[in-house]
Amino acid sequence: MEFKLNNGVIIPEIGFGTWMIDDKEVKDIVKNAIDLGYNLIDTAEAYGNEKGVGAAIRDSGYPRNYIFVTTKLDGNVKNIKDAKKCFQDSYKKLDIGAIDLMLIHSPQPWGEWKDKNKRYFKENLEIWGMLEEEYLYGRVRAIGVSNFMIDDLENILNNCNVKPMVNQILAHIGNMPFDLINYCKKNGIIVEAYSPFGHGPILNNKEIIKMADWYGVKPTNICIKYLMQHGLIPLPKATSNEHIKDNLNLDFTISDDDMKKLDNIKDNDYKEYSKFPVFSNKE
């Protein structure tokens, strides 16, 4: 299965995350992930590994158009001059020709995450205009956003020439922002679910473990399949061969009753990772 973005570009139904994979290691890990079956690779300027990701794509032996590569403009950059430079840097570091999808990483700089008094509507629109230009020029095949809330999206939708194709957000069993997901779907924006295991801690949830036992799969498989059955594109990250392989064991269906049970789980305890803005649970 795959999804069609609102501009007709095809995007795979599951991706491979690369946050916290060092640039020196990422090439081999991504090449392995591609060999094992992933063809959507998620990186970002902020991960510092675009060079290694680009090298993996070029050396993979697969045709360039088989692999879909997403990267993101630094969330801290909120002026057009630096945003342009950021785009150029990513383009050069990846060195794969047109980027498949470029996202604005965050509507606010990380230090002002979800600060209601510090919004960047005007700046995000300007940066969106720059992305539109690159899209129309052909240096990027699709453009979108990440961590955008409904009002951030409204700001773009009400003023843009090209509608965002994707919103990449935190979504996993235990923390599903259904209002935002439904808003995106209603507006033709595909939702990518980052941190499908809540960065790890959610895999210890007893209800998820119990359900995985019943289906004869791993908790990670339940987490991924749940998101897919909700029409989202999950972006699991793994480094070991065993994990990378395991996470593609998806040949089963979660029943409607069990989906409802999973919908009702509330678990957003990110333990030591709550120090990261994205896991800080700020509303």
Ligand X SMILES: NC(=O)c1ccc[n+]([C@@H]2O[C@H](COP(=O)([O-])OP(=O)(O)OC[C@H]3O[C@@H](n4cnc5c(N)ncnc54)[C@H](OP(=O)(O)O)[C@@H]3O)[C@@H](O)[C@H]2O)c1
Among all residues, which ones are annotated catalytic?
A: 47
Contact 192, 167 (CB under 8 A): yes
List residues binding ligand X (CB under 6 A).
17-19, 42, 105, 146-147, 168, 194-200, 203, 218, 220, 235-240, 243, 246-247, 278
8 or 106, CB closer to ligand X? 106
46 or 150, CB closer to ligand X? 46
Q: Quick one: DSSP state of residue 5? A: -
* Side-chain half-sphere CA neighbours of 173 within 13 A: 30
Min CB(227)–ligand X separation in Å: 11
Min CB(170)–ligand X separation in Å: 7
H/E segment holding residue 263: helix 256-263
Min CB(169)–ligand X separation in Å: 7
Measured from the Cβ of residue 275, the count of other Cβ atoms closer than 10 Å reads 9
Phi, psi values for residue 25, rounded to 5°: -95, -20
Min CB(177)–ligand X separation in Å: 13
Q: Cα(133)–Cα(127) distance, rounded to whole angstroms?
A: 10
75 or 254, CB closer to ligand X? 75
- Encoded tokens for 150: 């409904």
Nearest to 6 by CA among 135, 97, 195: 135
Measured from the Cβ of residue 114, the count of other Cβ atoms closer than 10 Å reads 16
131 or 138, CB closer to ligand X? 131
| Angle formed by the axes of helices 121-137 and 80-94, nearest 10° | 40
